[in-house]
A and B are shown apart, each in its own frame.
Chain A
Amino acid sequence: MKRPPTPETLFNRVSLRSKLMISMLVAVLFISVTIAFVARWILVSSLTDELELRGSAISHSIADRGAEHILDNDTPQLLSLIFDEVRLHERKSLVAYIFIEDRDGTILAHTLIRSMPDELRKHSLPEGVDESTMLLSDNGEEVYDIAVSINEGLYRIGTVHVGLSKSHIDSLISKLRFAFLGFISGVIIITLILSSQLTRRITRPVSDLTRLANEISKGNFNIPLSRKNEEHWDVSNCPAFTNTDLPCWHLDQSALPDSGEAEAHPSCGNCVFYRTRPGDEVAQLGNSFRSMVWSIRLYRHRLHESEEKYRSLFDSGPDPVYVVSSSDGTILDANPRAEELYGYAPGELIAQPFTVLAANETQEFMTDLLSGGDLGCVYYPKQIHAKKDGEPFFVNMHACPISYQGKPAIIIAAADITEMIEKDAQLIQAAKMKTLGEMSAGVAHELNQPLNAIKMGTEYLRMAEEGHVIPPEQQSEVLVEISAQVDRASEIINTLRAFGRKSDIATERVDLNAPINAVLSILRRQFELENIRFDLRLTPQLPPMNGHSNRLQQVLFNLISNARDAIHEHCPADDPDAQRVITIRTGSLPGKVFAEVEDTGGGIPPEVQSKIFEPFFTTKETGQGMGLGLAISYGIVKDYSGNIQIRSTEGQGTVFHLEFPTA
């Protein structure tokens, strides 16, 4: 609701300049009006009195000098006398007329150039009174008629009348009034001009500052800071403007070292900015304000530079970088590299949920992210992300909490490691091929057995052809057996094919027992030929795990091969007493499944245990192995977030313990 402004609020609303002007004007007006009115009153009243006194003096003078002419009855002289009196220049407009009557009231002489009007004769001087004044009207003009008695001795012989023009007196008074009005007006105008100049001088810097402040509030810093009569000063001319290593100390307090009194840079003294300028408080305020604006501009410039610097780091960084909101998991910002790598148009990623990049793989991350806990920087290796067209690839993700635009957020750097992963896969594949070669002897054995059985079966059946009677039960039995042996051979071949196949990027659910059985199906016969016995303690119904079956087979193959080598090394095959057993165990723990491969070899010395997973580390003789088997196995287990541990007692054997999280 709008209220009518009270005088107080009205006064508050007017500008400082108006306030000053009004105050000065009111003061001057009050004083001058008072003086003018007092002076006018004194002057007007004394002027009127003075003029009437003058009229009276004229009358008395005529009365004195005219008496002899009246007695002489010399009217022309009387006439000449009163004409002389009335015509004296300065009296001309004041004295309207003079006339003289004798004691009977007959007009003896008058100064009019028309006949004597009767109105003027109304004023007769009473007997015994020497002087009297009366306001008469002569032909519409008001006249103060001053009558003075002309005496001879004690007695009156006539009367002189002097008419003072009231309009003349009034015009004098009105001149006076105008003079005073003019005086007051002059004072007011001069005061107005002076106060206007003065207040402008006072308030202009303030107005300038206000304007500057408004401009700055609008974000316009490109306002000229130089003042009138000052050489043009561009902030960017200051060496400190472009060189942030060169702050001028007494300005840039933030860069002040702890000791405090650092010298100003020699070139700072040349800046107009640092010169002290003389002036009153307002001017000093202006200077301080300009220094402040100057500083703001300087710091804005630096801030801008810094922002540019980090922006360019963000924009032209070689790895994708995302800023993801901690509250809802949407992407707040992504650098061009991210858009390029993931195949999105510029800006397309903004406001998308981060999960669009990798729905499955980022679940864990998103859970962590949205849980809101203080994560610190977290590393997520070998995450599978998907490009916009769905093509998956590997990244290593670093996520660190930051504050972005005042809100908690996560900055995520995703390094593309697809190429590395490819190399890994190739290495694994090569190792697998080598393993296949090593397995060939066992495979040959394994295939030999069904082939022999088939051979025997077919020869037996040929006997029937040669005339031997084979009971139908036996014939049927042989055929079943042959068929079973074919199945077995084909199973072995399938196993080999699966082993040799290059695994997919995506993992599958695997029962840990399956790869063990697959490996054993190939190696068992051969190992038994080498007098090595398997002790299998597989726990059925294991929970599944995420992984690749053939890679797990490779791991197990490596471990079992090493176990056989250790056994061979420890006790010769022809020692009948020797314990030549490889024990394979599987089992499950809460959230985990494990498999153990135990040999009865000579164990591993502790100093070797720590190096055993390093690439190209081998205890075997040169030419026997590359030293990559265990390193690759270690990498595969780690890929599945698993763990591999060694328990070894020297002289008693070694246990390799594999552990994987369940799916």
Chain B
Amino acid sequence: MPITITTLMRTLALVFLALVALTPGCTDSGQPASPATPTPGVTATEIVLGSSLALTGHAGYLGTQTLRGAEAYLRYVNENGGIYGRSIRIISRDDAYDPPRCLANTQRFLIDGNIFSLFCYVGTPTTVQVLPLLDDAKVPLLGMLTGANALREPFNRYAINIRASYYQETGTAVRHLVEDLGIKRIAVFYQYDAYGFDGLVGTELALKRFDLEPVARSFYIRGTLDVEDGLEKIMASDAEAVVMVGTYSACARFIQLSTTRGFFPIFFNVSFVGAEELARRLVAVPDARVVMSQVVPSPGLERAREHPDDAVSEYLKIIKRYYPGEPPSFIGLEGFLNARILVEGLRRAGPNPTREGFIDAIESIRDFPLVEDAAITFGPKDHQGMESVYFTRLIKGSFHPFTDWNVLRATE
């Protein structure tokens, strides 16, 4: 009987399988089962958080305000018994808005291994620098004072934003400028780093929806006040509005110089610029039309009166109690809200919190009524709690909320 095709095939298949099986080095050795290690930064009495932020330098105001806002609430919580009997402590290190120092601080936190979570970072370039470490160390970072897109896309499980993004801020502002005021000539002035680029791209994307492009782009170097060249370029473009993505000192100088030279466009600043500090520096230029987007409601008394049970009025009460004499600020309110979410997450994470459990707890927050007209919602693929963008304009040395953009029309 002839040897059939079937037997031939079978033999070949066996030979092939044997070849595959004999090929060395193809299999991963199983991961060793990790023993139940205690969660770092969690002791019987306290939960320790690490925070690297600018406490000094040209962005020092932002860091200190954030930290105070957060610490005020944490002190309040600690005084009221803490979370499951544990008090919450923030170890803060100053990075002076310098990414390498922020990186060094964060590495220190991770190597020392005694923090539960990273908390309240300030600034885009600094936070972006440490972002890869989060994945490696599997440590959550909650509440960043930045709307950088890089912290949102691609999605990172360990990065948890509270506030709206720069894209949302610039996008909303551009829409109002174009639709409400009919402005077509918009320029962008940005800080030459990840933060500035983020704002630039956000603005460009928003303009693109109206088939527009920035009429001029100019920048300055982080940590300097060299804005003249940028100003000249923008003045030459005859822009009607300037989107400013920088820090308060550079932006204030830009506006001062501009008005000095008789150039009066609408100056739109994103929230990171820091309203109170900018306002303080622009007291001398009352004529400038300066607008700032905010990602938290205005921490004014008006609002506190309107919504007495709101987190805003709570902030006002608590900051007054723990930091008497410290004026309430947008940045401080943001830090305060970060702490509120942190505490809510820790509560939900239960008496034996783990980092992963904490993230899951945050993701479980739905329609958390922190601010009355902007409930906070997270989800497994949604690590940004708030979507609201508020606008304020500079009136007599302070920023006030407004909704009618017609007030900004240039008085001829």
Mark A residues whose CB is within 8 Å of B. 10, 13-15, 17-18, 21-22, 25, 74-77, 79-80, 83, 87, 92, 109, 112-115, 170, 173-174, 177-178, 181, 185, 188, 192, 196
Is the Cβ of A114 less than 8 Å from the Cβ of B4? no
A–B complex contacts, Cβ < 8 Å, 5 sampled? A13-B3, A77-B100, A79-B100, A83-B103, A113-B110
Q: Which residue of B lies closest to A167 (CB)?
A: B28
Q: Which of B227-262 contact A (CB under 8 A)?
A: none
The size class of the interface chain B forms with chain A is: 20 to 34
Is the Cβ of B25 less than 8 Å from the Cβ of A17? no
Asked if B14 CB lies within 8 Å of chain A CBs, one says: no
CB distance from A204 to the nearest CB of B (A): 12
| Among all A-B residue pairs, the 4 with the closest Cβ atoms | A80-B100, A76-B100, A15-B2, A113-B110
Looking at chain A's contact residues, the main secondary structure is helix
- Separation of A87 and B3 alpha carbons in the complex (Å): 60
CB distance from A197 to the nearest CB of B (A): 12
Cβ 8 A contact of A80, one of B9, B16, B19, B99: B99
Asked if B20 CB lies within 8 Å of chain A CBs, one says: yes
Which residues does chain A contribute within 8 Å of B25, judged by CB atoms?
Answer: 170, 173-174, 177
Asked if B23 CB lies within 8 Å of chain A CBs, one says: yes
Is the Cβ of B132 less than 8 Å from the Cβ of A87? yes
Is the Cβ of A14 less than 8 Å from the Cβ of B3? yes
Which residues does chain A contribute within 8 Å of B137, judged by CB atoms?
Answer: 113
Which residues does chain B contribute within 8 Å of A77, judged by CB atoms?
Answer: 100
- Separation of A196 and B9 alpha carbons in the complex (Å): 10
CB distance from B6 to the nearest CB of A (A): 10
Which residues does chain B contribute within 8 Å of A173, judged by CB atoms?
Answer: 25
Is the Cβ of B2 less than 8 Å from the Cβ of A80? no
- Separation of A17 and B5 alpha carbons in the complex (Å): 8
Is the Cβ of B16 less than 8 Å from the Cβ of A196? no
Which residues does chain B contribute within 8 Å of A177, judged by CB atoms?
Answer: 23, 25-26
Asked if B12 CB lies within 8 Å of chain A CBs, one says: yes
Q: Which of B5, B99, B110, B136 has the most CB of A within 10 A?
A: B5
- Separation of A87 and B106 alpha carbons in the complex (Å): 15
Given contacts A15-B2, A21-B5, A192-B12, whether A76 and B111 have CB atoms under 8 Å apart is no
Which residues does chain B contribute within 8 Å of A170, judged by CB atoms?
Answer: 25
Asked if B371 CB lies within 8 Å of chain A CBs, one says: no
- Separation of A173 and B26 alpha carbons in the complex (Å): 10
- Separation of A74 and B100 alpha carbons in the complex (Å): 10
Which residues does chain A contribute within 8 Å of B103, judged by CB atoms?
Answer: 76, 79-80, 83
Is the Cβ of B23 less than 8 Å from the Cβ of A83? no
- Separation of A92 and B101 alpha carbons in the complex (Å): 22
Given contacts A77-B100, A80-B129, A181-B23, whether A14 and B136 have CB atoms under 8 Å apart is no
Cβ 8 A contact of A113, one of B2, B9, B136: B136
Asked if B8 CB lies within 8 Å of chain A CBs, one says: yes
CB distance from B185 to the nearest CB of A (A): 38
Is the Cβ of A181 less than 8 Å from the Cβ of B19? yes
Is the Cβ of B101 less than 8 Å from the Cβ of A76? yes
Q: Which of B1-46 contact A (CB under 8 A)?
A: 1-5, 8-9, 12, 16, 19-20, 23, 25-26
Q: Which residue of B lies closest to A69 (CB)?
A: B100
Which residues does chain B contribute within 8 Å of A174, judged by CB atoms?
Answer: 25-26
Given contacts A18-B8, A177-B26, whether A115 and B111 have CB atoms under 8 Å apart is yes
Asked if B360 CB lies within 8 Å of chain A CBs, one says: no
Cβ 8 A contact of B4, one of A18, A83, A92, A109: A18
Asked if B98 CB lies within 8 Å of chain A CBs, one says: yes
Asked if B225 CB lies within 8 Å of chain A CBs, one says: no
